[in-house]
A and B are shown apart, each in its own frame.
Chain A
Amino acid sequence: MLLFAQLLNGLQYGVLLFLLAAGLTLVFGIMSFVNLAHGSLYMMGAYIAASVANATGSFLLGLLAALLGCLAIGVLLERVAVARLYDKNHLNHVLATFGMIMFFNELASMLWGKQPLFVSVPPMLDGVINLFGLPYPLYRFAVIVVGLAVAVGCYWMIHRTRLGMLIRAGANNAAMVGALGINIRFLNALLFAVGAALAGLAGAVAGPILSVQAGMGEPVLIATFVVIVIGGIGSVKGAFYSALIVGVVDTMGRAFLPMLLREMVSRQLADAAGPALASLLIYLLMAAVLALRPQGLFVARR
């Protein structure tokens, strides 16, 4: 029972991570571009959704606005800055996108102020479901559904459409795809924008659960990088499975590790070490994967 509830919590965190990881892994895997500013797009998505939802009273409109807004920001960002950086090395990418993080954080506090923004759960999803005696927030179920729907959509796009075929081909050998007459620049721009839109969607969905404020993108970005490293860079399927693994491992660790420690060591030590150790778990997992399968668990086949 408790295990089931915690599994759900892990699943919900996992699908949220997946929305972020899907875009990041494609951009990283196919364009070999390190985008630290992915978290900023997530933040912009949350802000846009919050503003539009508060102005119109419709959460769905906010969601749509975040999706389209971040798509537009993605296109703009790719054209103005990112496209100039593809042929530079990774350190330059890191430097440039780190600068973008600061830019977006400052932009957000200029446009929306330093106070966190108010976002309410849509009335339809406000409330709890009784899960064998344990009240579980309805909204979190909705997040799981949205995440899984996006995962199915990604699968369909990548494996059943011409665009997906190009993406898969690009992941294997971008130069060859270009040589065959495909406009690889356009493909890159499209991918970047889609990744941005997914990040925006993740931010919009997270809005009612989290504090919408400048800098909200950075903590989640770190977990997202862990996801794509474990999943194998460039693999959306890998990102999906590893997002779920990371979500569940992190949640289970936080739920049960302090309890477990309390059985073994003194209460005081367990209280201090438990949360620290639990938050380390996903990094330990990443280290283990890197040691045993450096290419990631579900690597895009080359």
Chain B
Amino acid sequence: MKRSAVVKSMVSALGALAGLAVLAFPQQAMADIKIGLSGPFSGPMAADGQEYIDGFGLALEQLGNQLGGQKVQVLQGDDQMKPDVGSQVMRKLIELDKVDAIVGLGYSNIIMANLRRLKESGVVSIAVAGGPSPMAGAECGANVFSIAYPNDGSGEAIGKLVQDKGYKNVYLMAPNYQAGKDMLAGFKRWYKGGVAAEVYTQINQTDYSAEITQLQLSKMDAVFMFYPGSMGVNFTKQLKQAGVIGKVPVYSTFTVDGTNLPALREAAVGVISGNTWNPALENPENQKFVKAFESRYKRVPSTYAANAYDAAFLLDTAVRKLKGDTSNKVAFAAAVKAAGAEFKSVRGPFRFNTNNMPIQNYYAFEIVKEGDQIKGKLVATPLVDHKDAYVAACPLK
């Protein structure tokens, strides 16, 4: 009696939930291609997640809501930057929604939690914000792509730049987690000079006064920092207030970008950032993208938006190659791989390596003030047509 009542209310609750789901995602009439878009759409990294949505959305608008001439339906999945939630989201997109491709995949912690599932599903998966080293190496998959970069790529570029400039004693700082260590390892792969100190701070630390005081008292001739997201705002502001920026050359990756430059403004002037993209890149695709993005969303796009925008044009080219038939997953993945060298990236030269990671240029941008505008200025291209360090471990051909 009691048991059946519980079951009954469970069933009605489920029914209500199902009703909600239908309300929330009205099925578009006869979509030919379903794309899952996953990322951190809520929580502290939501600003980055919004970039995926807007970058991908802008490209779809320009393509008339079609990929390769086929109507598109986009299903969003919010991973909240939590691996357990991310796994549920991926399972839903793959098994329930049966999407043709997943774009986004969130940060490396989400990618690593789902790498095996994505590979086994065979569904074309395109990361727009990362490429952890296992994914580039031994754990690579024929259907798993990164349209972004290997995680340490920009670190390698700055390492090369700092080496070329002839600095002898560099102070390294990053948060104490895998990506932080990978970034500094990438830097040291190319930089052969002395290391004044290698300091790791607690992840999501907000106040860096103690560490900055130590830094000021060391005899370094340059600083390299990696502080993504809001950590970058905190660290850069405090570094500026302590008078370090402007006095010593400060190099960075992912610390000063489109999402947080508006919050930093003058505080970031003089910082040199390694990246694969910036609004300042002067190729026609990029000029068109930046102009359209700014007029559509009233802000400057970030690398994540640019990568998501590229992902849409990559898929467009791949679907066109298959004449709209994405039913064969193996053929679709192969088409995406080939399309990498054909579509026009906003970054300039682009193609996929055998491990489905990008072969691309890595640039260095200096944040400058021009009139009232704070923006990046291309100062060097340390690595041209650069391949990551893990490709040899990947069995793919």
Interface residues of A (CB under 8 A from B): 2, 5-6, 9-10, 12-13, 109, 113-121, 126-128, 134-137, 139-140, 208-216, 219-220, 251-252, 254-255, 258, 271-272, 274-276, 278-279
Q: Which of B184-231 contact A (CB under 8 A)?
A: 198-202, 204-207, 209-211, 213-214, 216-217, 230-231
Contact check, A6 vs B210: say whether CB atoms are below 8 A apart.
yes
B234, A209: Cβ atoms closer than 8 Å: yes
Number of A-B contacts (CB under 8 A): 121
Q: Is the CB of B263 within 8 A of A212?
A: yes
Q: What is the CA–CA distance of A118 and B243 in the complex, to the nearest angstrom?
A: 19
- Residue in chain A with minimal CB distance to B184: A271
Segment 232-253 of B: residues with Cβ below 8 Å from A: 233-234, 237-238, 241-243
Contact indicator B210/A251 (Cβ below 8 Å): yes
Subset of 14 A-B contacts with CB under 8 Å: A2-B214, A2-B217, A116-B230, A120-B266, A121-B241, A134-B213, A134-B217, A137-B241, A209-B237, A210-B237, A211-B237, A211-B260, A214-B46, A275-B176
Cα–Cα distance between A255 and B44 once the two chains are bound (Å): 27
CA distance A9 to B266 in the complex (A): 24
Asked if A258 contacts B199 (CB within 8 A), the reply is: yes
Residues of A within 8 A of B211 (CB): 254-255
Which B254-312 residues sit within 8 Å CB-CB of chain A? 259-260, 262-267, 299
Interface secondary structure of B, over-half rule: helix
Residue in A2, A13, A127, A210 with the greatest tally of chain B CB atoms within 10 Å: A210
A267–B212 Cα distance when bound, in Å, is: 20
Q: Is B43 an interface residue (CB 8 A)?
A: yes
By beta carbon, the residue of chain A nearest B265 is: A118
Contact (Cβ within 8 A) B202 A211: no
A-B complex: 10 closest residue pairs judged by Cβ atoms? A211-B233, A9-B209, A116-B263, A137-B241, A211-B230, A114-B47, A255-B210, A254-B210, A135-B243, A128-B243
Contact A117 B207 (CB under 8 A): no
Question: Is B50 on the interface with A (CB-CB < 8 A)?
Answer: yes
Q: Which of A121, A213, A254 contacts B230 (CB 8 A)?
A: A213
* Inter-subunit contact B242/A128 (CB<8 Å): yes
Complex contacts, B260 vs chain A, CB 8 Å: 115-116, 211
Query: Smallest CB–CB gap between B36 and chain A, Å?
Result: 21
Q: Which residues of B contact A254 (CB under 8 A)?
A: 201, 210-211
Q: Which of B43, B214, B237, B243 contacts A208 (CB 8 A)?
A: B237
Nearest neighbor of B263 in chain A, beta-carbon distance: A116
- Find chain B residues with CB under 8 A from A215 CB: 43-44
Given contacts A135-B242, A213-B44, A220-B206, contact A115 B237 (CB under 8 A): no
Check if B200 sits within 8 Å of A272, measured CB to CB. Answer: yes
Q: In the complex, what residue of chain A is closest to B259 when comparing beta carbons?
A: A115
Q: B176, A276: Cβ atoms under 8 Å?
A: yes
Residues of chain A within 8 A (CB-CB) of B259 are 115-116
From B46, which residue of chain A is reached at the shortest CB distance?
Answer: A114
Residues on the B chain within 8 Å of A271, using CB:
198-200
List residues 13-53 of chain B with CB under 8 A from any CB of chain A: 43-44, 46-47, 50
Chain B residues within 8 Å of A114, by CB: 46-47, 50
> In the assembled complex, which residues on chain B have CB atoms less than 8 Å from the CB atom of A9?
209-210, 213
* Closest partner residue, chain A, to B176 (CB atom): A275
List chain B residues, Cβ under 8 A from A118. 262-265
B257 to chain A, nearest CB (A): 11
CA distance A213 to B230 in the complex (A): 8
Whether B234 lies near A211 (C-beta < 8 A) is: yes
CB distance from A63 to the nearest CB of B (A): 18
Question: Which one of B201, B213, B238 contacts A5 once the chains associate, using CB atoms below 8 Å?
Answer: B213
Chain B residues within 8 Å of A12, by CB: 209
Contact status A109-B46, CB under 8 Å: yes
B207 near A255 (CB under 8 angstroms)?
no
**What residue in chain A is nearest B236 (Cβ atoms)?**
A211
How many angstroms from the CA of A136 to the CA of B241 in the assembled complex? Answer: 8
A66 vs chain B, min Cβ distance (A):
18
Pick the residue among A6, A121, A255, A279 that contacts B202 (CB under 8 A): A279
- A279 surroundings in chain B (CB, below 8 A): 202, 205
A2 to B213, CA, bound (A): 8
Q: Is the CB of A120 within 8 A of B265?
A: yes
Query: Are A115 and B243 neighbours in the complex by a CB distance under 8 Å?
Result: no
**Bound CA–CA A275/B242 (angstroms):** 21
